[in-house]
Structure 1
């Protein structure tokens, strides 16, 4: 509408329309966070609008209410932008002294994703739906984050955010947060995968296939350490040559190498304390070293020395592909599971050509389940199985004598005996 259709009323911010005789109130809500439709980013913008009312009394009432609200914001400091990335840094600084080095690296990796998504957005404008959208974003490949996160990893980020919001809620005067918006956030549908296991015949076929057709012997270590000793993926990646005791037929499961974003960190086995003073506190254990794995390791060692053009060193990792050895970098733990799936596809393709039923779909972690099932079904002492796999034994015999006074002596003879008996492959 043209300017000459309005006249001043003598009250700043209120004009009257000479045609309709109604009053127009100009309202300034200050700078607020709004979505930039062109860039898709949240930005601070000056928000203004107008209201049309019939009487001067109504116009002054609306104007007075808006001025009172602006005064309250200035008094409480609510108009000050509280950037997500800045507060996250303050939270980290406050708690980092209580975190171990490996936990700190995990937190930093998670914070990198959080900052990439929320950036400098005002924390008070983030609600539960925003958190859920962030979880969905994490499950897709993004620029700078090639690998989407699993439900398990998103759960860990959820815990991080929950603690972060709890920290801000404890400091309401500083951050203005009165509600933990993460508590009700759903991180998506959890797909519970029912694990499968292989029987002894299927395990033998898989191992023999690897021996016959896999030119890169790192596949041997990937299969051997998991299905013949019950190791987890991270433990497979963390085993070094110094951890192999050929004389006593034992493997010292000392460390695991875990996935962190696009890299990895070395830490003690699952549920262990990185700062622990004893092997028990650090959850370090001894796993059985059966005869067939000894033979496989001899060939793996010879191949590594051929690629490296030198003798292997005690601190060299065992699970190393040809490319890792030649180019001098560590394999990413997150890619091991995918590599196992590709290997399983090759196995089943070969079985199809031979007119055999395909092996059931199994994950790399199911090789650990297979090992435990083979041992328990084969009658191995359950204490040896539990200690071998890093579990705390719990069962009908878990009385005070067992839980308090039984100590693992490192004996794995029953496991070695059973594996030597049921594994019938020809490595030559």
Structure 2
């Protein structure tokens, strides 16, 4: 649909213009219209209008509506989020918000060259340990542009991946020895923090992840068979809200046996939870649905605890017991694996117990323990030979 009209210019002369409705953009779904002015005669305006209509009919709508990287990213993200978890979406959006869009966002797509991408990629490598993931996501947007016909090639693919400076420094995560773990639990007993004792007992005696433990309900614990089922995890979104997600990988879904001591501690904690609720006038109709590590909100409803809880416990231990060695919460998972190997467990059994999707993760811990054992073996041999 087109409209032709004559209009008066600022200098008093007259000219012609036309408005044309060009249909919906096949990429964005938005309606497109154009207005063209400055034709001296009606005939000139009609000829230009006819030329434009013929071009649209023969070639379809021009994809100029997607001009910048940010516009293309918005289209890509609207499709990408349909197939990913909420936590993955949050992580991907953070990559774009903090690294990718500040570098590429306002650039015109046709102005982004391989040399520009190389300069940006080199800069990322000096700042971010995860720069290769950032590169991958930035590249996916370019590939989507090719799929839509907005661009002809992916300039990020014609770059050389630099070595990461941050990878040159090995990050070592500490674990507790058997003696140090006992000292840690002595600290919790002195703090009289029964809930913290239960959390870290599960962490160090099952090797479960923080989110898996915080996501446990009493339904997941089978006292008759002395097992715990891990099939979900508690996640905290960027807006601070909590939600329960299924475990990310099938290998993480597992039912593992627990020792007698852990079973006794959990039974005692369950009785304590019921008793504390009754003392506050709260009757639990179905305790199976109550989180094992829970809190009581203002409405007296027991709910999942915030993700930072175990970290705050470690901070408290550090303040109250300055001589106590402090490790990361994830270090309790590695502590469990290390102590299992020291006790003589097999690699496959430890992998299944911890829910490692790759045996490499388990083997890395095993190799470290094996090296320590080699030193002990040499010392025993030397002592024997010199005896």
Query: 1:85–1:265: structure 2 CA closer, same or farther, 3 Å change rule?
Result: farther
Give 1:195 deviation, angstroms.
Answer: 2.0
Q: Which residue of 2 aligns with 1:296?
A: 265
- d(CA) in 2 for partners of 1:386 and 1:219? 26
Match 1:320 to one of 294, 297, 300? 294
TM-score, normalising length from structure 2? 0.59
RMSD of aligned residue pairs (Cα, Å): 4.1
- d(CA) in 2 for partners of 1:328 and 1:290? 27
Give 1:85 deviation, angstroms.
Answer: 4.2
Q: Which residue of 2 aligns with 1:226?
A: 203
How many pairs does the alignment contain?
285
Q: Which residue of 1 aligns with 2:352?
A: 387
Kindly indicate which of the two structures has a greater share of residues assigned to helix.
Answer: 2
Q: Deviations over 1:319-347 (max 9, x none)?
A: 234669957664343x2463253144146
Match 1:91 to one of 72, 76, 88? 76
Match 2:106 to one of 95, 111, 121? 121
Give 1:177 deviation, angstroms.
Answer: 5.6
- d(CA) in 2 for partners of 1:131 and 1:263? 34
Please show how residues 269-418 of structure 1 align to structure 2 within 5 Å. Answer: 269-272=247-250, 283-305=252-274, 306-307=276-277, 309-311=282-284, 313-321=287-295, 330-333=304-307, 335-336=308-309, 338-346=311-319, 348-349=321-322, 352=323, 358-359=324-325, 361-391=326-356
Runs of 5+ in structure 2 lacking a partner? 1-60, 364-387
- d(CA) in 1 for partners of 2:153 and 2:175? 49
Task: Kindly indicate whether the alpha-carbon contact (under 8 Å) linking 1:78 and 1:176 is maintained by their aligned counterparts in 2.
Answer: no
Task: Kindly indicate whether the alpha-carbon contact (under 8 Å) linking 1:227 and 1:370 is maintained by their aligned counterparts in 2.
Answer: yes
Q: Which residue of 2 aligns with 1:213?
A: 191
Query: 1:392–1:108: structure 2 CA closer, same or farther, 3 Å change rule?
Result: closer
- d(CA) in 1 for partners of 2:63 and 2:177? 64
- d(CA) in 1 for partners of 2:199 and 2:140? 37
TM-score, normalising length from structure 1? 0.54
Query: 1:91–1:302: structure 2 CA closer, same or farther, 3 Å change rule?
Result: same
Give 1:226 deviation, angstroms.
Answer: 1.0
Report the 3-state secondary structure (helix = DSSP H, G, I; strand = E; otherwise coil) of the residue aligned with 1:174.
Answer: coil
Please show how residues 56-135 of structure 1 align to structure 2 within 5 Å. Answer: 82-96=67-81, 99-100=83-84, 102=85, 105-108=87-90, 110-111=92-93, 114-115=96-97, 118=101, 121-122=106-107, 124=109, 127-128=116-117
